[in-house]
Structure 1
Amino acid sequence: MNAYSARIGARSGALLWRVRPTGAHRVVPDGALDRMWSGGRLVVAGPDTAAVVVRGGQETVGLRFPPGVAPLLLRTSAADLRDERVELRDLVPTPVPPGAPAALLEQVYLDLWAAADPDRDLIRAAAALDRAADRGDPVAAVAERTGVAERSLRRTSHLLFGYGLKTLSGIRRFQRAWDLVRAGADLADAAARAGYADQPHLTREFTRFAGLPPARLASIRST
């Protein structure tokens, strides 16, 4: 089993997580961007569209950016980081302070925020899009509610999350179903409760995002 723990950082208010895999494990898409410290390297993990298999037992400590915030601090589009792992120093010239990994990640986050002074309107827009994705709202309904053209919504979603709202909603639905499957729900029940049309629909989406059908995914180490 992978040793995983998470907490809210006292200084940053962001999610801090730590994992030490005991072998190869599969990291599945979750619609988020993280900064990770592992092996003396500070890396930005972009939004994934497919599972990534990680091998080895080296501990990794990460800080999860709040929804839509990473591109504003890193001064790049999330779409440019999609399915990528990039050294932080290749994106922004940020000094890396000494200290334990969790404290280091929080300090760098605070330094990035102070330097970028991110646009509060965009942060609010990111939070609204994040909630819409969690609910599975259709793009047309979001456009009508906000008075923003669908094409503009798509551009904003790509900037802040790395993909369009429809894909983000699909990843969030997959994550809901995956949580249910890991908790012991049968596939038909997980499909209904997560919002899929039926069990075959769930299986297709698991294969799309995780590279494996749900029963097979549940039988191996995953995070």
Structure 2
Amino acid sequence: MGVAAAAALAPYVRSMSVYDITGPPGVHLGLPSTQVSVVLPVDDPLDVAWSGDPGSRQRSWQSVSGLHTRPAHIRHGGRMAGVCLGLTPAGARALLGVPAGALAGTLVELDDVDRSFRTLPERLATTPSSGWGAAVGRALLQALERREARAPRAEVGRALALLTRGAAVSAVASDVGLTRRHLGELVRVETGVTPQRWRQLARFQRSQPMVAAGRRLADVAAACGYADQAHLAREWRELAGCSPTAWRRQELPIVQDMAASRQQDGEA
């Protein structure tokens, strides 16, 4: 994606990964985060389901998942290729036309949310992998131009920023001039989760690259705001369905390959 496009999309697209990964067949974990995930696979559709819910399994060429508190299981036959986006709450509104809260806990098709994206999978299928990022960037810029980018309410945006940094919910409510109840209502509408859950997801998300890098778990816990290593481990089992060590052992090659893809293609 070009510099100008990346700058225009920066408030809305937290990350973009162009990936083409090969390895043994298996199940990749899509971990919870504070982002709306959009996956556009190439060559083979995405085979995805929520952990513990086989009835949610679907094969899709353009998958969107809102904020969630359990991992997604992505089955693959040894190769995964395509583009993965992480949208901010503002990005859900500006690019998809809906608040992130409307997508919470769901697995849906992108063109069910916005029909203007319906031809994007076909365009990617006829584009060399070196051009996938640019093709998606153009589609996102066109979506941004089609509608007026309406940001979340200012106090909600500030509250989410403070919660992401680990501030206590009561302190955040006081800072933005809302009662805890009113803050909770506004955050749930905007994101689909409570302020406390957003804070938890942000903390968990911060820990993921540190765990992948092999840092001592006690150091990760301290850096991310966990009470101790045991607290970190409990939260990982709740949100990832496995321990940090087990996740790193299983997912490290995929994490490294996707990180290399981000460095090569650039993040929005």
Fold shared by both chains (TM-score > 0.5): yes
CA distance in 1, matches of 2:202, 2:66: 16
- Aligned residues between the structures: 216
Deviation per residue, 1:151-193 (Å, 9 max, x gap): 2322322233231221111112112223222222222222222
2:217 aligned residue (175, 178, 187): 187
1:220 alignment counterpart: 250
2:55 alignment counterpart: none
1:46 alignment counterpart: 66
Q: Which runs of 5+ in 1 are unaligned?
A: 1-6
Structure number with the higher helix fraction is 2
Residues 1:160 and 2:163 aligned together:
no
Contact 1:68–1:123 (Cα < 8 Å) also in 2 = no
Identity %: 25
Contact 2:166–2:203 (Cα < 8 Å) also in 1 = yes
Q: Which runs of 5+ in 2 are unaligned?
A: 44-60, 256-268
| Bigger mean CA deviation after superposition, 14-23 or 191-200 | 14-23
| Bigger mean CA deviation after superposition, 30-39 or 73-82 | 73-82
Listed as ranges, the matches of 1:1-223 within 5 Å are 10-11=4-5, 12-13=9-10, 14=13, 15-21=15-21, 22=23, 23=25, 24-39=27-42, 41-56=61-76, 57-95=79-117, 96=119, 98=123, 100=127, 101-120=132-151, 122=152, 124-125=154-155, 127-221=157-251, 223=255
Residue 124 of structure 1 deviates from its aligned partner by: 4.3
Local SS of the residue matching 1:83: coil
| Bigger mean CA deviation after superposition, 157-166 or 167-176 | 157-166
TM-score, normalised on structure 1? 0.83
CA distance in 1, matches of 2:70, 2:93: 20
- Aligned in 2, Cα 1:128/1:80: closer, same or farther, shift over 3 Å? same
CA distance in 2, matches of 1:119, 1:39: 31
The residue type equivalent to 2:33 in the other structure is D
2:56 alignment counterpart: none
Local SS of the residue matching 1:48: coil
TM-score, normalised on structure 2? 0.70
Local SS of the residue matching 1:76: coil
Residue 206 of structure 1 deviates from its aligned partner by: 0.5
The residue type equivalent to 2:82 in the other structure is T
